[in-house]
């Protein structure tokens, strides 16, 4: 059983994008997956609903649950699914706090862009994690740097990583998700990035497909492996012929 929580104090950092992608990738690995949407905006629920309408498979089961008794619902659902990914949205909400207090939730991942506005929320998240750990001793919290710039002359990522080291209750994921166009296209097609880039490769002439490096898929696969301790072996991995290191820290 694996229950992970994707949440944070700031909106617009890519939580629903990461939650939906990880859920679909886990489905592609053959797991019985629940995507639990606790955000009032319902982005993950809408995404899965549209995906079902298009007939794309596999698709995770998705339910919306809100309220202060969310932790009890999580405990019950944990007995029914192999993997649960919780999208708690981007605010200090009752749902976020309730999920953090659930004993089944052992890891919280908070995506952040390497920007001053996002980094300013870390103090609040650090305090929230500290409070939650008094109820849930199993909880660990991690920062995922998301939508990171790929230009080698932009140093915001390394500066953000250094800044984040000061927070006692927050660890930094090794995996970094860069700002890449396939994320936008994949979302608009109700697909995961690994599905979208695979379709893209298959539609290319052979000579072009050999040269194409699915960087977004490679980064997401690294994150998947780090979170679930399981190597992602979806069909797209056949095209991983280049080891990609984020340009900013190469």
Residue 204 lies in a domain: no
Residues 129-172: tens digit of each pLDDT: 999 999 999 999 999 999 888 765 455 888 888 889 999 999 99
Query: Token digits for 142?
Result: 């991690």
Rounded to 5°, angle at Cα 230 from 55 and 157: 90
What's the confidence (pLDDT) of residue 244? Answer: 40
Q: Which of 40-44, 46-50, 65-69, 120-124 has the highest mean pLDDT?
A: 46-50
How many domains would you assign to the chain? 1
Beta bridge partners of 90: 8
What's the confidence (pLDDT) of residue 76? Answer: 93
Say if residues 125 and 9 touch (Cβ distance below 8 Å): yes
pTM > 0.85: yes
pLDDT: which is higher, 153 or 206: 206
Q: Which residue has the tokens 């969310």?
A: 70
Phi (first) and psi of residue 85, to 5 degrees: -115, 120
**Residue 100 scores a pLDDT above 80:** yes
Average pLDDT over residues 191-203: 95
Residue 244 lies in a domain: no
What's the confidence (pLDDT) of residue 149? Answer: 81
Band (117; pLDDT cuts 50, 70, 90): confident
Residue 128 lies in a domain: yes
Q: Distance between CA atoms of 74 and 52, rounded to whole angstroms?
A: 24
Domain that holds residue 175: 2-191
What's the confidence (pLDDT) of residue 102? Answer: 94
**Radius of gyration, CA atoms only, the chain:** 18
Residue 141 lies in a domain: yes
CATH code for position 170? 3.40.50.300
**Residue 115 scores a pLDDT above 50:** yes
Average pLDDT over residues 36-65: 96
Instruction: Give the list of residues 6+ apart from residue 24 with CB closer than 8 angstroms, or none.
Output: 58, 59, 60, 191, 192, 194, 195
Residue 229 lies in a domain: no
């Amino acid at each position: 059983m694996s229950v992970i929580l994707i949440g944070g104090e700031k909106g617009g950092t890519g939580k629903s994008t990461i939650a939906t992608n990880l859920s679909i990738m886990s489905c592609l690995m053959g797991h019985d997956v629940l995507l639990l949407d606790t955000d009032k905006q319902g982005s993950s629920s809408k995404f899965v609903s549209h995906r079902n309408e298009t007939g794309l498979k596999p698709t995770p089961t998705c339910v919306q649950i809100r309220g202060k008794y969310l932790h009890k619902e999580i405990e019950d659902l944990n007995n029914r699914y192999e993997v649960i990914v919780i999208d708690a949205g981007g605010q200090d909400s009752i749902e976020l706090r309730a999920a953090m207090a659930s004993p089944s939730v052992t890891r919280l991942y908070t995506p952040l862009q390497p920007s001053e506005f996002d980094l300013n929320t870390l103090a609040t998240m650090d305090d929230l994690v500290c409070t939650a750990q008094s109820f849930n001793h199993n909880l660990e919290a991690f920062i995922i740097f998301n939508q990171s710039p790929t230009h080698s002359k932009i140093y915001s990522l390394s500066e953000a990583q250094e800044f984040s080291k000061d927070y006692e209750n927050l660890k930094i994921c090794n995996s970094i998700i860069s700002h890449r166009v396939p994320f936008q296209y994949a979302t608009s097609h109700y697909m995961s990035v690994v599905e979208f880039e695979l379709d893209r490769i298959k539609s290319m002439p052979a000579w072009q497909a050999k040269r194409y490096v699915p960087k977004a898929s490679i980064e997401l696969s690294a994150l998947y492996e780090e979170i679930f301790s399981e190597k992602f072996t979806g069909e797209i991995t056949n095209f991983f012929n280049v080891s990609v290191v984020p340009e900013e820290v190469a």
